[in-house]
Amino acid sequence: MPMGHTATDQAGTGGLTATEHRLANGLRVVLSEDHLTPVAAVCLWYDVGSRHEVKGRTGLAHLFEHLMFQGSGQVKGNGHFELVQGAGGSLNGTTSFERTNYFETMPTHQLELALWLEADRMGSLLAALDDESMENQRDVVKNERRQRYDNVPYGTAFERLTALAYPDGHPYHHTPIGSMADLDAATLEDARAFFRTYYAPNNAVLSVVGDIDPEQTLAWIEKYFGSIPTHDGKPDPRDGSLPEVIGEQLREVVEEEVPARALMAAYRLPHDGTRACDAADLALTVLGGGESSRLYNRLVRRDRTAVAAGFGLLRLAGAPSLGWLDVKTSGDVEVPVIEAAIDEELARFAEEGPTAEEMERAQAQLEREWLDRLGTVAGRADELCRFAVLFGDPQLALTAVQRVLEITSDEVREVAKARLRPDNRAVLVYEPTAPEATADQDENEEAAQ
């Protein structure tokens, strides 16, 4: 095959392997050895995300993630952070639509500590959870929301597009950060109930990757996690399925104090884990990934109507994925000019499909992204958990890049034709407004400089 030539012999896996295990309490374990550097990554995915939240309690999964760092049965206060960092490790947690993950990367000789810490909070968080940490972290999360979304230009674009693309009542209609009102409304009892429902060994996957002795590691895992009781009663997430195309163009115009006009859009795309999703990834890369893409060449290089133009893919397993278009206009250019150019490019692409050279470039870009992802023990641990939790098979992580390289240009054209259409998108337009009047002493002081 002329295309899909690979950058490494094993197309990204570098000969990596992973073994799978399951404790009696249902905890799934994935181990992968790599002795190149004396470090080990621990990654724990809980199968709970914002899609499991109920009306009036948006943001609870993420607020809860913060509470997981506020101490547990044998760990005081900020001990999770203190102990890991004091051992020369790094750590964090993140919450998305479909999962919550916690991870530590440790020097090899401190691996056991990370396992002990994760087991302690999985088994005994409620022993430490109190009003004080709840109130404090509620304020911290509200400030996180302000910093990342409310106080920056276009900061709420993602939230608005998601709300447009997934209908009211759909589990993905709201984003993980949640609303201020719901963050205010969350109670300590909500947090306790959330833990009891979702934080169970049988609702999690633990991966350990790096400079490990698998037998010893498994023995530690059995020792620390083995006695945590299984509990059931997790409700199934609400159904996220939707028709393949939206069927009409949804649109919202935001008049806000932003530096320039912007055109953003979310296209409804195939679910993650399918060949069609990989094909969509390639289509979006050809159209809007990097500085040789069709939209970049058209809008930024040739028409010179945009300062930036690109496509991204938000892969989702429990609902249609989102193809995310983001264009910021240049100077006084109006949005319809941009929109017409994009529609023309997408229509042409749907007819012609990618050229052989475009396929080669897009596959090379995605392959390098995979090499980067699998090039660190932490990245590998996260991908093993991802494929275990979302698709039931961690081994799929090691062959993911091969699947992308096997996609044909016909498949790319097909998915573009079927999905990248005006009647399958939610559009968000930003029109800048004049800034609010500034305090009156300013002009004098400004003039004085």
Partner 1 sequence: MTELATMEFHPQPRAGEAKPWAFPAPERGTLANGLTVLHCHRPGQQVVAVEIILDAPLDAEPAGLDGVATIMARAFSEGTDKHSAEEFAAELERCGATLDAHADHPGVRLSLEVPVSRLPKALGLVADALRAPAFADSEVERLVRNRLDEIPHELANPSRRAAKELSKELFPATARMSRPRQGTAETVEDIDSAAVRAFYEKHVRPATATAVVVGDLTGVDLESLLGDTLGAWTGSQAQPRPVPPVTADDAGRVVVVDRPGAVQTQLLIGRIGADRHDRVWAAQVLGTYCLGGTLTSRLDRVLREEKGYTYGVRAFGQVLRSAPDGSGAAMLAISGSVDTPNTGPALDDLWKVLRTLAAEGLTDAERDVAVQNLVGVAPLKYETAAAVASTLADQVEQHLPDDYQATLYQQLAATGTVEATAAAVNAFPVDRLVTVLVGDAAQIKEAVEALGIGEVKVVAAE
Does 107 participate in binding partner 1 (rule CB under 8 A)? Answer: yes
Does 337 participate in binding partner 1 (rule CB under 8 A)? Answer: no
When binding is defined by CB under 8 A, the residue of 17, 19, 78, 187 that contacts partner 1 is 78
Task: Report how far residue 241's alpha carbon sits from residue 260's, in angstroms, rounded to the nearest whole number.
Answer: 35
Does 36 participate in binding partner 1 (rule CB under 8 A)? Answer: yes
Contacts of 440 (CB under 8 A, 6+ apart): none
**Binding to partner 1 in span 198-227, by CB under 8 A:** 211, 220, 223-224, 226-227
- Taking CB under 8 A as the binding criterion, the range among 80-88, 170-178, 244-252, 264-272 that sits at the site for partner 1 is 80-88
Helix (H, G, I), strand (E, B) or coil at 94: strand
* Token pair listed for 376: 């660190």
**Which own/partner contact pairs does 134-143 have at CB distance under 8 Å and 24+ positions apart?**
134/67, 134/186, 134/187, 134/188, 134/191, 136/70, 137/63, 137/66, 137/67, 137/70, 138/63, 138/183, 138/184, 138/186, 140/66, 141/59, 141/62, 141/63, 141/66, 141/177, 141/183, 142/180, 142/183, 142/184
Does 110 participate in binding partner 1 (rule CB under 8 A)? Answer: yes
Q: Parallel, antiparallel, or unpaired for β 250-256 and 425-432? A: parallel
Does 112 participate in binding partner 1 (rule CB under 8 A)? Answer: yes
Does 74 participate in binding partner 1 (rule CB under 8 A)? Answer: yes
Give least dist CB 424 to partner 1, A. Answer: 27
Give least dist CB 297 to partner 1, A. Answer: 6
What's phi and psi for 266, nearest 5 deg?
A: -120, 125
When binding is defined by CB under 8 A, the residue of 21, 87, 242, 391 that contacts partner 1 is 87
**Binding to partner 1 in span 286-305, by CB under 8 A:** 290-292, 297, 300-301, 304
Region for 272 from its dihedrals, namely left if φ exceeds 0, alpha if ψ lies in -120 to 50, beta otherwise: beta
Q: Which lies closer to partner 1 via its Cβ, residue 9 or residue 236? A: 9
- Taking CB under 8 A as the binding criterion, the range among 171-179, 271-279, 325-333, 394-402 that sits at the site for partner 1 is 325-333
**Is the separation of the CB atoms in 33 and 214 below 8 Å?**
yes
When binding is defined by CB under 8 A, the residue of 20, 21, 81, 222 that contacts partner 1 is 81
Q: Which residues are catalytic?
A: 65
**Is the separation of the CB atoms in 310 and 432 below 8 Å?**
no
Give least dist CB 244 to partner 1, A. Answer: 30
Nearest to 170 by CA among 54, 63, 267: 54
Does 90 participate in binding partner 1 (rule CB under 8 A)? Answer: yes
Does 83 participate in binding partner 1 (rule CB under 8 A)? Answer: yes
Concatenate the DSSP letters of all residues of 369-397 into one string. Answer: HHHHHHTSHHHHHHHHHHHHHHHS-TTHH
Give the H/E segment covering residue 428. Answer: strand 425-432
Give least dist CB 355 to partner 1, A. Answer: 11
Q: Could you tell me how many residues of this chain bind partner 1 (CB under 8 A)?
A: 100
- Taking CB under 8 A as the binding criterion, the range among 54-62, 264-272, 323-331, 406-414 that sits at the site for partner 1 is 323-331
When binding is defined by CB under 8 A, the residue of 24, 54, 140, 356 that contacts partner 1 is 140
Give least dist CB 81 to partner 1, A. Answer: 5
**Binding to partner 1 in span 361-400, by CB under 8 A:** 361, 364-365, 367-368, 371-372, 375-377
Does 355 participate in binding partner 1 (rule CB under 8 A)? Answer: no
- Taking CB under 8 A as the binding criterion, the range among 69-77, 157-165, 312-320, 335-343 that sits at the site for partner 1 is 69-77
The upper half-sphere exposure of residue 335, i.e. CA atoms within 13 Å in the direction of its Cβ, equals 18
Binding pattern for the stretch 8-27 against partner 1, x by CB under 8 A and - elsewhere: x-----x-------------
Does 439 participate in binding partner 1 (rule CB under 8 A)? Answer: yes
Contacts of 21 (CB under 8 A, 6+ apart): 28, 29, 30, 31, 218, 221
